[in-house]
Structure 1
Amino acid sequence: MTAPVADIDIDAELVGRLLRAQHPDLADRSLRLVANGWDNAIFRLGDDLCLRLPRRAVAVPLLVNEQRWLPALAETLPARVPAPVRVGVPGDDYPYPWSICEWVDGEIASLVPVAERRAVAGELAEFMRRLHVPAPADAPVSPVRGVPLAVRDEQIQDRLTSGKLAREDELRRLWDELITAPVWAGPPVWVHGDPHPANLVLRGSRLAAVLDFGDLNAGDPATDLAAAWLVFDAQGRAAFQAGVDADDATWTRARAWALAIGTAIAVFADIHPGLADAGEHAITQVLADQG
């Protein structure tokens, strides 16, 4: 299994041309590639800014959603998010829109020992409470996040019978139990959609930022509450659960989402080796939790 091939190669020379043409006042800053992900290339620009540029056409609508919705959401949230401070348009041999965002100093939570992450459980719970408000009618929807669990059943069943995961029989039995939870009965709320620890930035014992809103959508908040198992151990999870105050059905669906996201991380560990431990951690926590 390999990462998708980029539709366009993005290097510092190309980014420099875009800056000189569209944001010339920033063009003399230092520029270096810091990540070349599944969908986007990230360049650091000077000390306090970064650029986010889609490397595949399918990622463009996700970036456009961030450009449209994050500036307003950022005003209501207690931790920083990658709301663009400037935007770029296609040009100079680059066919997609792109964003300039603030750079956030700190440490990615997936690189922080799990016990130390407990300190931010309350802050992450507060972030989720503030994010999970009814979304407007024209908010984006996702085919894979924030949806009823039944929508994901076929894909998850395939994953759990693929032979690529340890403890598949246990996971399959648990999934079949969790998927019977009542569906979300409330209005569609804002959902981050990808609440794993590599999307959290910590600074000391504080939550500095929540990254990567490419899966931003209106739907079931249980998707985001999967962070209880993806990010924390039992002690941290208890603090997080107390902070979000979810009902039993939502908490059950959240555990199912942790299973879904955790197994996806595990299956794709060869592509994202930095997340391999996160996938194993999530699966262990989901199976160990007795509810």
Structure 2
Amino acid sequence: MHADQVDVGADVVAALVAEQFPQWRGYPVRPVVSSGTVNAVFRLGADIVLRFPLQPNLGPELRAELRQEQEHARLLAAHLPVAVPEPLGLGEPGEGYAGPWTAYRWIAGETARPDRVGGSDTFARDLAGVVTALHGIDTGGRTGSGTGRGGPLAAQDADVQAALARSGGFTDTARLAVVWDKCRDVPRYDAGDVWIHADLMPGNLLIRDGRLAAVIDVELVRVGDAAIDLMPAWNLLAAGPRETFRRALGVDDATWERGRGWALVQAINALHYYVETNPGMAATARHTLAAVLD
């Protein structure tokens, strides 16, 4: 998927585990198929999941990011009404893999998909409950960085315009440009920054018996604009449950439009980038853009 992506094999993973976590030596290692774009994922035994960044490096920044990710997982676990991956360890570079990696407790469940839960008002209310709890966590006075996900939506304009220019053969870019112009120019919120997940994609939501059971992949958790966590309204939910989600959250029109804008940002950038290399991500992008135009 990426020009500098590395391939990680189960044999390399097993050797790293045996060397660094001898208590897990001998546990079977199985690749986990997913539409994720950042990590190669492996299941270790019955209860452990290992995450290996596809673009590893030996610099201190990646190690710091992975440590922070595990801190954020602990923070969310203490406040959310559903499961969050429990950190179990931080792996080191070794033979066959030049970078740090992480271990978490495995959470059983199915990936949320529009055809499974997109039409469910119950699921929409479950999701709203999680988002409400997340945004209610005390920030301790922290504010967002003002860049990237959860920062000003208008700062994404150059990337969106470039993605629209590349995507004419994949989607209705003329109509999307009109929507983007509207969302981009919605005034910045006044309510202050909150804790955000910033990547509430279907693949990061697990379900059991039609109910939301877990939120995973917390690597983008940060403080920022609450609107970005409205993305599931378009990347997952049908029109009726979308309104149920909105009513349960009680968000104002400006926040809702920024959320729509963030859904567009994610999808239009993903579509052309992954259309050949990640069909699952491209399909989610198409679904999202259709909903944005709905």
Instruction: Calculate the TM-score normalised by the size of structure 1.
Output: 0.89
Structure 2 match to 1:21: 19
Amino acid in the other structure paired with 2:212: L
Deviation string 1:164-215 (CA, Å, 9 cap, x unpaired) is 4421111101111111211122332111111221221111111111122222
Q: What is the distance in 2 between the residues matched to 1:271 and 1:87?
A: 29
Q: What is the distance in 1 between the residues matched to 2:145 and 2:81?
A: 24
Q: What secondary structure is seen at the aligned counterpart in 2 of 1:183?
A: coil
Deviation string 1:31-52 (CA, Å, 9 cap, x unpaired) is 1111475321111011121111
Q: 1:97 to 1:113 in 2, by over 3 A?
A: same
Structure 1 match to 2:157: 153
Structure 1 match to 2:82: 79
The answer as to whether partners of 1:108 and 1:197 remain within 8 angstroms in 2 is yes
Q: Does structure 1 residue 282 correspond to structure 2 residue 288?
A: yes
Structure 2 match to 1:261: 266
Structure 2 match to 1:44: 43
Q: What is the distance in 2 between the residues matched to 1:111 and 1:166?
A: 19
Q: What is the distance in 1 between the residues matched to 2:121 and 2:257?
A: 21
Spell out the pairing of 1:87-236 with structure 2 (5 A cutoff). Answer: 87-92=90-95, 94-110=97-113, 112-113=115-116, 115-132=118-135, 133-136=137-140, 141=145, 143-162=147-166, 163-236=168-241
Deviation string 1:1-52 (CA, Å, 9 cap, x unpaired) is x43332x432222222222222211112111111475321111011121111
Deviation string 1:41-90 (CA, Å, 9 cap, x unpaired) is 11101112111122313793543321222112211111122231232233
* Identical pairs, percent: 34
Deviation string 1:95-133 (CA, Å, 9 cap, x unpaired) is 322221121222111374454554311111111111113
1:136 Cα deviation from its structure 2 partner: 4.4
Q: 1:63 to 1:164 in 2, by over 3 A?
A: farther
Q: What secondary structure is seen at the aligned counterpart in 2 of 1:57?
A: coil
The answer as to whether partners of 1:140 and 1:217 remain within 8 angstroms in 2 is yes
Greater mean alpha carbon deviation, residues 178-187 or residues 244-253: 178-187
Structure 2 match to 1:251: 256
1:286 Cα deviation from its structure 2 partner: 1.1
Amino acid in the other structure paired with 2:151: V
Q: What secondary structure is seen at the aligned counterpart in 2 of 1:284?
A: helix
The answer as to whether partners of 1:118 and 1:235 remain within 8 angstroms in 2 is yes
Q: What is the distance in 1 between the residues matched to 2:242 and 2:69?
A: 28
Amino acid in the other structure paired with 1:121: A
Q: 1:99 to 1:141 in 2, by over 3 A?
A: farther
Q: What secondary structure is seen at the aligned counterpart in 1 of 2:214?
A: strand
The answer as to whether partners of 1:141 and 1:217 remain within 8 angstroms in 2 is no
The unaligned stretches of length 5 or more in structure 1 are none
The answer as to whether partners of 2:171 and 2:286 remain within 8 angstroms in 1 is no
The answer as to whether partners of 2:142 and 2:223 remain within 8 angstroms in 1 is no
CA RMSD of aligned residues (A): 2.4
The answer as to whether partners of 2:198 and 2:222 remain within 8 angstroms in 1 is yes
The answer as to whether partners of 1:148 and 1:184 remain within 8 angstroms in 2 is no
Q: What secondary structure is seen at the aligned counterpart in 1 of 2:32?
A: strand
Q: What is the distance in 2 between the residues matched to 1:112 and 1:233?
A: 9
The answer as to whether partners of 2:67 and 2:90 remain within 8 angstroms in 1 is no
Q: 1:242 to 1:146 in 2, by over 3 A?
A: same
Instruction: Calculate the TM-score normalised by the size of structure 2.
Output: 0.88
1:258 Cα deviation from its structure 2 partner: 1.4
Q: What is the distance in 2 between the residues matched to 1:167 and 1:255?
A: 16
1:237 Cα deviation from its structure 2 partner: 0.5
The answer as to whether partners of 2:149 and 2:228 remain within 8 angstroms in 1 is yes
The unaligned stretches of length 5 or more in structure 2 are none
Q: 1:117 to 1:98 in 2, by over 3 A?
A: farther
The answer as to whether partners of 1:114 and 1:233 remain within 8 angstroms in 2 is no
